[in-house]
Chain A
Amino acid sequence: MDAILKSDLQVKDVATETKSSVFWRPTAQTGLISWLTTVDHKKIGFLYGIFALFFFLVGGFEALLIRLQLMTPNGTVLTAQQYNTMFTMHGTTMIFLAIMPLSAAFFNFIMPLQIGARDVAFPRLNAFSLWTFVAGAIILNLGWFMSAGAPDAGWTGYAPLTSKAYTPDHSVDMWIMGLQLLGVASIAASLNFIVTIINMRAPGMTMMRLPVFTWMTLITAFLIVLSFPFITVALVEIMMDRLFGTSFFEVSGGGMPILWQHLFWVFGHPEVYILILPAMGIISEILPTFSRKPLFGYPIVVFSGASIGFLGFSVWSHHMFTTGMGTVATAAFSLATMAIAVPTGVKIFNWIGTLWGGHISMRTPMMFALGFVWMFMIGGFSGVMHSAAPADAQQQDSYFVIAHFHYVLIGGSMFALLAGIHFWFPLMFGRKIGEFWGKLSFWVIFAGFNITFFPMHFLGLNGMPRRTFTYDGNLGWNSANYIATVGALILGVGIFIYFAVMVYTYFKGEKVGKDVWDARTLEWSLPNPPPEYNYRVIPTVHARDAFWYMKQNKEQIAKEDATHAKEEAAHGGIHMPHQSIYPFVASLGMLIAGIGISVMDNDPTPGFWGKKIGVTMIGGVVMLAGIYFWALEGNGGYHLHPENDGDESNGKKPAKH
């Protein structure tokens, strides 16, 4: 090859090789090291998924214990403290360690494929996000193995209950530090996604041709970047109050506990949309695919997603209607909240419009997607009820709210994510989950979910407050609680079937070829599982449903591909990033420092170098070393020259140099 045509990157290749004794670039393709050092967005997405599903099961187990405690009045399964720990960890786990990372798994795995990219913009930053998320998850859950116990101040951590005076042990410190690290992970990942979507779209993939799931990824990423700083600030303040005796929320020092609620919910409400928008994106992919029609009203669905994102920042105080904000503020937040119902409703209308006149194939992902639309409608309507502040004064902190947000988070987010797993499983692993078992799990989950949470509306209207470990038998709550617990057990069985089938399919499921659903977006043009470089030839996009267009215009596409392939070969083949251990090292440092700050006791002996300071400093040094070497090792990378369309079933490995 002509030396002049060699890219910059190849020159760097040589440089890296000479430095390799100092900057070790791992090349393992299998084994633990390959997973710890991977920068492949698909592997990282897979790991996100595995961790998320693990914590989903943990959170579900906590939920079952909660329901068993409440099955009968004056239950004795758990003590008051154990119960408080369970609901705190259930909420925190499900939101931060299950739904968010499961969405992140799809962002990682699917989004780059949908825009025709070969990886995310910053592959090593992506690995760093993953491992920092794991570090945060570890710190959050350390309390289970310690005498302080796991956090028990509620997932909202309202001050001043979280202050040193009312929670003197380390449980709250672990909650603070865990969330702080999760915030770092989320912000880093989101910046990565934003840059990726803005810059790395295939030619012809204009913003108004982006698949809706990618659009929702983009909006969600912006929401994360804009809202997480609020909770970061709030957590820093509460940490300062606890560690250094400042008075942000300390009433005796003139602090304002209400400040915590404002900061928390300015984050917390956008967080609700961070949980639901990816789900809406998934639904907006599945419904058109199985109706064999484009999404009805694409621009309006996208625009309503964006306006939900904007409005989401102006409604936080509807979580605080009972804090005595006064009439005008209450009225303003009440009306703003109602306004959000419009773009949300629009999405539902458009989903129905998508079905209308289609050829609907009732496959398992479609069942979950339709289940989503129904359940999300119910959750949305009870949300409208909350927006009416006077009605909310009765519903706030009652089981009515519990019913509402479980309809939105399980019936909404979780159903969509479960649909997404079914939908993209063939693409990710080349196997398809069987229809019978898939549908069975859907119906059991659907029934269990409704039996659990529908009665909770009535419990709330009948005056049962949330976060209560016990209730007396004379308040008319017994039968609804009993039914809810039975429902929870059914839901548990459904989830078990779902997971058992998924694991079975992973190893033994029916093998399927490319594009098993006759789908519409670019990722389905890939062989399954997709090769590490994704696209042998970067595709050119001609229409909104890019792959659908390709299938209709095969000759044109084939010609284009041939031209592009030549151009790419002339540029030295497909550039792949090197693996790197340093993102993992940096995250490990954050884990150690986080443990130092949150778990270590302050050494009472005089002198500066106590255990707490020591461990924190060690963690800091490891983190800085990780970041430093990460910066110095350079991009690295190598080139691939795949001969065929990455179809490795014929035994040919793509050539490497």
Chain B
Amino acid sequence: MDGHQSTIKVEGPVARSQLEVFYVTCWVTLVIFILVGAVLAYASIKFKARTTAEEKSIPPEQGHGNPLIEIGLIGASILALVVIAIPTLKGIWYTYDVPEDRKADTYEVTATGYQWWFKFDYPSEQIAGAGALATANELVIPAGRPVRVNLRTIDVIHSFWIPKLAGKVDMMPNRANHLWFQADQPGYYWGQCAEFCGDSHAVMRFRVIALGPKDFNDWLSQQTAPARDVAPPRVATQDAPKVQFASLRTFKQNETGHTAKYDISPLDAWKAQQFPEKGESVALIAQGKALFKEKACLSCHEVRGHGYAGISGPSLTHFGSRSTLAGALLENNTEQLHRWIHNPESVKAGNKMAKGYIDNNIKLTTEDEVALVAYLQSLK
């Protein structure tokens, strides 16, 4: 039980406190189970009639019970429950909010559930003219500090769950929920929506990346900056790019969308993702940038600094630096990004991007898709 979403191999104080309560319940019930089970097994074997003659023999004493035994057992059950109740009550208060002495050190973010992705706002990182820093799918936090997450939803009920760091709390419409957690060490954590929220609930996922103080500050300054611009528009008009990926292929329904990279050393893989890839085609990127407007991508998506300011979809300002896409379902690489923009419905049934394609009559040629992929991946 040491998977990416294990609640047993935990890596933060909130999940640890929840695990401790679980262990208390587990041991108490296990002891009772063994005791009661032993008596039950003994009675079933010892008093079993072995022959038909025995079955038909004079019936045993027709007694109706013994009040003393009953009262004793009721008392014992209540005692056992008290053993569970005390750590439970302590845990309820501890996990509810950041302890007083840690409040000053707390980092606050807001998570908002959408069908089917998570948006993350950083209220303490205000950007002139653009409000708070907003990202999607990946919540980057400082390690070793308490993090308080305000939970909001834009549509239906979602639930915010990072098993290794904290149990879930729901995102309820018309209700200001919150939860807190802390990652002991820098790391890369898997999270998932835990409340059924419609067609693609199963693939509404996210990641939490905890960074040391310096890394975290670097990340913040990278994110608060406008989107990277490698393609001045005049270059684009000069040479038309050629389609050049070998990796274009069709995926089967529901095919795995990730490589083993993030299973082996996820944090390193994530860090590598922060730097521009070698061999970017400036011309292709410029074409993608133009297509982003032409194909109405900008009506839902923001790319801050490029003049694109849609708000209903995730912000793509630093899309290229994320390790995942499509609600953290797919790994962010050329192949998977192409798979996603080529046919969003086949990846994630019922999603709004697929609907947007139909509503706005968006048709992408392979060249368009390739250019858009190049552009999006350049947005480090």
**Residues in A neighbouring B26, C-beta threshold 8 A:** 385
Q: How far is the CA of A308 from the CA of B216 in the complex (A)?
A: 53
| Residue pair B157, A292 in contact (C-beta under 8 Å) | no
What chain A residues lie within 8 Å of B73 (beta carbons)? 345-346, 349
**A464–B199 CA distance with the chains assembled, in angstroms:** 18
B279 within 8 A of A: no
Given contacts A342-B78, A370-B44, contact A476 B1 (CB under 8 A): yes
A137 within 8 A of B: no
CB distance from B335 to the nearest CB of A (A): 16
Contact A359 B197 (CB under 8 A): no
- Bound-complex Cα distance A394 to B55 (A): 49
Report Cα–Cα, A373/B30, bound state, in Å: 16
Which residues on B sit within 8 Å (CB–CB) of A292? 59-60
Contact of B169 among A83, A322, A345 (CB under 8 A): A322
- Could you say which residues of chain A place their CB within 8 Å of the CB of B257? 472
List of B residues within 8 angstroms of A361 by Cβ: 49, 55
Task: Number of A interface residues at 8 Å Cβ cutoff, please give it.
Answer: 101
| 8 Å CB contact of B25 from A350, A385, A461 | A385
User: With an 8 A cutoff between CB atoms, is B17 at the interface?
Assistant: yes
**B275 in the interface (beta carbon within 8 A):** no
Q: Which of B32-49 contact A (CB under 8 A)?
A: 32-33, 36-37, 39-40, 43-44, 47-49
A80 x B21 contact (CB < 8 A): no
- Give which listed residue, A323, A390, A545, contacts B92 with CB less than 8 A: A390
Q: Does B89 contact A (CB under 8 A)?
A: yes
Q: Could you tell me if B7 and A463 are in contact, using CB atoms closer than 8 angstroms?
A: yes
A342 to B, closest residue via Cβ:
B77
Among A97-105, A250-258, A442-450, the stretch that binds chain B is: A250-258
Tell me whether B70 is interfacial, beta carbon within 8 Å: yes
**Residues A74 and B40 in contact, CB atoms below 8 Å apart:** no
Inter-chain contacts of B70 with A (CB < 8 A) = 297, 300, 346, 349-350
> Closest Cβ of chain B: how far from A379's Cβ, in Å?
11
Chain B binding surface SS class = mixed
Whether the Cβ atoms of B92 and A330 lie closer than 8 Å is yes
**Among listed B131-139, B159-167, B292-300, B308-316, interface-contacting one:** B159-167
> Which residue of A323, A334, A373, A463 contacts B172 across the interface (Cβ within 8 Å)?
A323
A291 proximal to B (CB < 8 A): yes
Question: Chain A contacts of B37 at CB under 8 A?
Answer: 374, 377
- A158 at the binding interface (Cβ < 8 Å): yes
Minimal Cβ-Cβ distance residue in A for B24: A388
Q: Which residues of A contact B96 (CB under 8 A)?
A: 326-327, 330
Report chain A residues within 8 Å CB of B19.
Answer: 391, 394
| A356 vs B329: C-alpha distance when bound (angstroms) | 56
A390 touches which one: B17, B175, B190 (CB < 8 A)? B17
A486 at the interface (CB under 8 A from B): no
Binary contact readout B58-76 vs A (1 if CB under 8 angstroms, 0 otherwise)? 0111111111011001100
Decide yes or no whether A358 CB sits under 8 A from chain B. yes
The reply to whether A334 and B55 contact each other, CB–CB distance below 8 Å, is: no
A397 B199 Cβ-Cβ under 8 A = no
Q: Per-residue CB proximity of B76-110 to A under 8 Å, as 1/0? A: 01100100110111011111100000000000000
* Contact in complex: A353, B156 (CB < 8 Å): no
A352 within 8 A of B: yes
Q: Give CA–CA (A257, B175) in the complex, Å.
A: 9
Is A296 engaged at the interface, CB distance under 8 Å to the other chain?
yes
A residues less than 8 Å from B268 (CB atoms) = none
Does A20 have its Cβ within 8 Å of any Cβ on chain B? no
Residue interface bits A287-330, CB-to-B below 8 A is 1, else 0: 00001111111101000000000000000000000111011001
Q: Which of B40, B193, B253, B255 has the most CB of A within 10 A?
A: B40
Beyond contacts A346-B74, A394-B167, A461-B1: 9 other A-B pairs, Cβ-Cβ < 8 A, are A83-B202, A297-B70, A326-B96, A330-B96, A334-B89, A346-B70, A384-B28, A467-B196, A476-B3
Give 9 nearest A-B pairs by CB, closest first: A393-B167, A463-B5, A476-B3, A390-B91, A468-B202, A297-B65, A324-B177, A381-B29, A463-B163
- Residues of chain A touching chain B, judged by Cβ–Cβ distance below 8 Å, are 73-76, 79-81, 83-84, 153-154, 158, 160-161, 165-166, 251, 254-258, 291-298, 300, 322-324, 326-327, 330-331, 334-335, 338-339, 341-342, 345-346, 348-350, 352-353, 355-362, 370, 373-374, 377-378, 381-382, 384-385, 387-398, 458, 461-477, 544-545, 548
